[in-house]
Amino acid sequence: MNFTSLLDHVTHRHESMLCVGLDPEPAKFPVGMKGDERRIFEFCARIVDATKDLVCAFKPQIAYFAAHRAEDQLEQLMAYIRRVAPDVPIILDAKRGDIGATAEQYAREAFVRYQSDAVTLSPYMGFDSIEPYLKYDGKGLILLCRTSNPGGSDLQFQTLASGEKLYEEVARLAAGPWNASGRLGLVVGATFPEELKRVRELAPTLPLLIPGVGAQGGDAAATVAAAWRPDAPIIVNSSRAVLYASQGEDYALAARQVAQATREQLARARFAPAT
């Protein structure tokens, strides 16, 4: 299946909008593993085993592996997820943004080396910065639009000559002329529910990857109310709240409990009355 079909399938099968972000920090690992960079794969694999029936996607963040010279462990993890959870799409969180031959190499990295189903990209160098990724049939391209960090407003909230904000123009392009392949999605932070609602208006059917629920303080109910539609999938990411739910040997069980609670909270929000 292509990324969109895979996402639709698992969202309904698992009745889930939850994505677990795999951002391993050895300094935060539980007792017995703490500080050991050699055990990144082991830590992440146990999180995958504990949550694979609760999620609509996994999202490994490449920097957390590369910083520890653990790219080989990331390759191992990607292959492991494909083996134990073949119906769960993997989004490589790389936020690449370059042009020409360099973009072609980044695309090869994401889709050939790591075998991801989708990748996050920065669109701010224009369409030719994402075009090389479109050569890989079926793969998803998720573009930064309105990010969850406070500094995102420095550029994304700037007003253009048209009167629209920059993030609105990105949403329009992604939903329109850039999306001839039908494989684009957008990153929009849960910490800005009004902007999230606006992006959904401009891009009514695109998948939205929504970070910021959990440790960053985004509200799950407000997120679902703003973005969820029956024909428009949302991928609500939680990383630290799940990964580091416990510092003990029960960390995988604790991660499952937090993931299950978050999944259920998101599901309830679909039926909450509008405020």
Give the CATH number for residue 115: 3.20.20.70
Q: Per-residue pLDDT for the chain (275 aa), expressed as one digit of tens each?
A: 799 999 999 999 999 999 999 999 999 999 899 999 999 999 999 999 999 999 999 999 999 999 999 999 999 999 999 999 999 999 999 999 999 999 999 999 999 999 999 999 999 999 999 999 999 999 999 999 999 888 988 999 999 999 999 999 999 999 999 999 999 999 999 888 899 999 999 999 999 999 977 656 667 788 898 899 888 899 999 999 999 999 999 999 999 999 999 999 999 988 765 44
CB 57 within 8 A of CB 259: no
What are the strands, taking DSSP E only, across the chain?
18-22, 57-60, 91-96, 118-121, 140-146, 184-188, 208-210, 234-238
Count the domains in the chain: 1
146 assigned to some structural domain: yes
274 assigned to some structural domain: no
Cα–Cα dist 115/91, whole Å: 10
275 assigned to some structural domain: no
Over the stretch 2-57, which tens digit does the pLDDT of each residue have? 999 999 999 999 999 999 999 999 999 998 999 999 999 999 999 999 999 999 99
Q: What is the pTM of this model?
A: 0.94
- Which pLDDT belongs to residue 266? 93
Amino acid at 183: R
- Which residues participate in catalysis according to the annotation? 95
Range of the domain at 128: 3-268
